[in-house]
Structures are given as structure tokens and as C-alpha cells.
Amino acid sequence: MGKEQASVADASELSLSTATSEKFWPHGWWKIFEIKVGIIPMPLFIMAAALIAALCMTGELPSQITTMVVVLGFFGFVCGEIGKRLPILGKIGAAAICATFIPSAMVYYHLLPTSIIDSTKVFYKATGILYLYISCIIVGSIFSMDRKTIMQGFLRIFIPMLCGEIVGAIVGTTVGTLLGLGSFNTLFFIVLPIMAGGVGEGAIPLSIGFSEIMHIEQGVAFARIIPMVMLGSLTAILTAGILNHLGKRKPHLTGEGRLMPGMEEEISSSTSHNPLKGAIDVTGLASAAMMALLLYMVGILGQRLVGLPAPVGMLFAAVLVKLTQAVSPQMTSNANVVYKFFQTSVTYPILFMVGVAITPWQSLMAAFTIPNLIVIIATVLSLVTTGFFVGKKMGMHPIDVAVVSCCQSGQGGTGDVAILTAANRMVLMPFAQIATRIGGAINVTLALVVLSHFFTF
């Protein structure tokens, strides 16, 4: 009995000594690192806030990448966390919306230091970092897909896309006409801008074409078009979030990023044999990133030779590499790791940068009229609903097809990022690029051709 009491006493002393040895420093301090804002541990988050404030107060904020990575990460994850914690809206894509529109409002209401605004705009224009992001996302997501899925999915996705655009144009124009906006104004200045593929690929070419054909100032045309693009993208983001929530409630309607049922990712087999190798092969990750950039350069060359947008050219090149099995399974696995890194760590900083640099809050607010909102919502919802039911009829996962349909109303590449983030289906980026780039280019071309004939006669 005495020995048992002695052993209990020894155990108590041991646990007490262990507890006292793990005092605040360093073990308690290390536990604070487990508290994170986005991906940033709390001590580093506080340090980033202090350094950003100090640099702003002592002069201009450098626009070099070493500084801007911290600035964009700090504000991007703050805005994302705000969106995630909003009741109800946090579950349907508010994080992506907040990461884009909160900084836009902060710029308009002068709540963001001028040095941060100027440095962000310079960084956005000078680096083209958005295309680095899209390159790694597209290549990684394509390489993570089953080859059979690519072959069947890329051909099948055009049918729900085409049906959705036809129905969306008819419904949107009809609703606008009934609301007294006029069929011409509704079709060319509300509905078509929504499905034009964003700002650079859609709104700007449309405004140039409108100015030449209708003999109006390009700035005037652009000011009328851009709010519709942004509000259409906002509606698509919210819709994508709702679709993600629906998929969780009715899992039989979704493939969680796979368009075709019964198909798994090939890379799972390549990484299951040696799961650690792909994670620790730093040179392999660098090679995968280099491959993504080289494929984007192929896209640039294609743009110069045949006029195809560079991201679309890169998309087709990546698909060709995947279908011909031109790279090893290990390279495929590394590309997927690079994709996951950009998806989890770069998305919200990119959205914050877009909100500051190219999202004018005043134009967004000016378009918030009841008739415009009704037309925009009717157009987006009819487009997405059509994609949902056509995709289901074709034996595809309807929710995932509907998410791709949302991207037809997205604000270009940035809209695709926000929409797929809200839907938690970044792996659909290749199909999103088809919906945005190719679908948008077709819409812009047809709109200008029809408009030119209309004004000729």
C-alpha cells in the first residue's frame, strides 16, 4: 500500500514538474502561433500590422514584391475572415465578396492610406501577378483531373453554356423590356456586358466597339457597362455560394469539382504510393511552377499568332500535355501541390488587390437601381438554372455545371477566382476559363457584329 502511495506521489510530482517546466516561454508562446488569421499566425499578424503602419507613417510604402506580399496577405485575409464570420452570408460566398468589395469601399471612403492604394495599383499593373496565379491554378487543376473527364467534359460543357447564354439573354431582355428599360438598352448595356467575360476581355472591347459604331465617347459607354459587369459578377458569387451550400445538403447532385460522375482524380494513385515525396520535393515544386509559366508563355505566343487570349491558349496547351501524358506522374503531383498552395494562400490577397486596383465603388453603387438589379438577377439565375438542368439531363453533376455557368457572368479571371472560391470548387478553373474567355469572346464578337448591322440599316 505504501509503495502504491509512493508511486502516486511520484506521478503527481512528475506531472507537476512537467506543467511547471512548460511555462509561457517558449511553449505558451508557441501555442499562440496556432491562432491564425487566414494562414497568418497571430504574432506574425500583429507584427505585420505594426510594420505596415510604421512604413506608411514614415514615407511611401514600397511597391516591391517583398513588401506587397505582406500588405496584400494582411488585408486580404482580414477581409476574408470578416466575410467568413458573417451570419448566413458567410456560408454562401461572403468571404470572396468581402475580400473584393471591402477594399473598394475603403478606397472610395478614404479609409485606406494613400500609400497602400498607390503601391497596390503599381504592383498590380507592373507585375501581372494575376496571371501567375491563374497559370498555376489552371495547370494544377487540369493535371489533377482524370484524362477521360477532360476529354468528355470539355466537349460536353459547351452545350449547357450555349443553352444558358441563349436563355439568359432572352429572359434578361424580356424582363428589362417589361420594366420599361427598353429592349435595346437592356440587351446591349445590361445583359451582354454581364456575359462578356469581364473587364479587360469584355467591358473594354465592348465600350470601344460601342463608341465607334454608335459614335459616343468610350468613357461614357464604359461607365454604363462596368457596373453591370461587377453586379453580375457579385450575383454570380452569391449564387455559387448558394450552390455550394445546396451541394452539402444534397450530395447526390454534386461531384465536388468533378463534372462527370464516377471518375476520380488520377493523381491520387500517383501520390498514394509515396505521399511524402511530393510534399518535400522542393525542386519538383519549382519545376512544376516553371512548367505552368512556360505554358502561359505558349499562350502568349498563341495570342500573337492567332489572336486567342493567352489564358485560353495556355489552357489548351495544358490539356494537350495532360492528354498525351507528356509529363511524369511525379510532375503531375507536384503541379497539384503548387495549385493547392495558390488556392489556399494567394486567393484572398489577389482579391484584395483587385478590389483596390480595378473595382470602382462609385460605379458599383450608381448601378444599384431596382430595375437594373432585377434584370441582372434574372439574367444570372436563368443562365445558371439552365446550366443546372441541361447538365443534369446530359448525365453531368448539375451543381458543378451550374457553378461553371456562374462563371459566364464573372468579372474575368478575377471573377472566376471569387466565384470558385465561394463555391469551394477551384478545381473547376479550366472550365471556368472556357466559360469566361471563350464564351465572353463569342458574346462580344456577336454583339458588335449585330450592332454594326443594326446601325448600318
Name every residue whose Cβ is closer than 8 Å to that of residue 74 and which is 6 or more positions away in sequence: 40, 45, 48, 49, 52
- pLDDT, position 115: 94
6 or 222: which leads in pLDDT: 222
Task: Find how far residue 242's CA is from the centre of its chain.
Answer: 16
- pLDDT, position 369: 86
What is the rounded distance in angstroms from the CA atom of residue 174 to the CA atom of residue 187?
9
Q: Please state which of the ranges 73-82, 141-150, 180-189 shows the lowest mean pLDDT.
A: 141-150
Is residue 151's pLDDT more than 50?
A: yes
Q: Please state which of the ranges 65-74, 94-103, 163-172, 288-297 shows the lowest mean pLDDT.
A: 94-103
Q: Mind giving me the DSSP string for 242-282?
A: HHHHHHHH-GGG--SS-SSTT---THHHHHHSSHHHHHH-H
- pLDDT, position 396: 86
What is the rounded distance in angstroms from the CA atom of residue 188 to the CA atom of residue 190?
6
Is residue 339's pLDDT more than 50?
A: yes
Which grid coordinates are listed for 164? 444558358
Averaging pLDDT over each range in 141-155, 229-243, 251-265, which range is the top one?
A: 229-243
HEC assignment per residue over 126-158: HHCHHHHHHHHHHHHHHHCCCHHHHHHHHHHCH
Mean pLDDT within 48-61: 94
Residue length of the chain? 457
Closest by alpha carbon to 197, among 450, 447, 425? 447
Place of cell 478575377: 414
Is residue 434's pLDDT more than 70?
A: yes
User: Residues of 241-260 as b/e, b for ≥16 C-beta within 10 angstroms?
Assistant: bbbbbbbeeeeebbbebbbb
Preceding amide of 26 cis, omega within 30? yes
- pLDDT, position 263: 52
Q: Please state which of the ranges 267-281, 288-302, 423-437, 439-453 shows the lowest mean pLDDT.
A: 267-281
Q: State how far the alpha carbon of 419 is from the alpha carbons of 39, 268, 429, 437, in Å.
A: 21, 26, 10, 15
